[in-house]
């Protein structure tokens, strides 16, 4: 993820905090990304793909 994308997630995080939305999936995703943690959406997609491959 490049700096422009990180900056965009920071703006999303700040806007959601200003709106009082701290429980949505977008907020949790923005928070993780801004804290340098893995993107939870991508992690979930990887887990789902692994489960599909194991079940096939």
Distance CA 9, CA 37 (A): 13
* Model pTM score: 0.79
Task: Dump pLDDT digits (tens) for 10-56.
Answer: 999 999 999 999 999 999 999 999 999 999 999 999 999 999 999 86
Residues whose CB falls within 8 Å of the CB of residue 27, separated by 6 or more in sequence, listed in order: 13, 16, 17, 21
Query: Considering only CA atoms, which of 28, 46, 45, 26 is closest in space to residue 37?
Result: 28
Buried b (16+ CB within 10 A) or exposed e, 20-39: eeeeeeebebbbbbbeeeee
pLDDT of 1 reads 87
């Amino acid at each position: 993820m490049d700096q422009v994308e990180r900056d965009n997630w920071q703006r999303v995080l700040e806007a959601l905090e200003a709106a009082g939305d701290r429980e949505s999936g977008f907020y949790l995703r923005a928070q993780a990304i801004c804290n340098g943690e893995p993107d939870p959406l991508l992690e979930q997609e990887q887990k789902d793909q692994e489960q599909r491959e194991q079940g096939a």
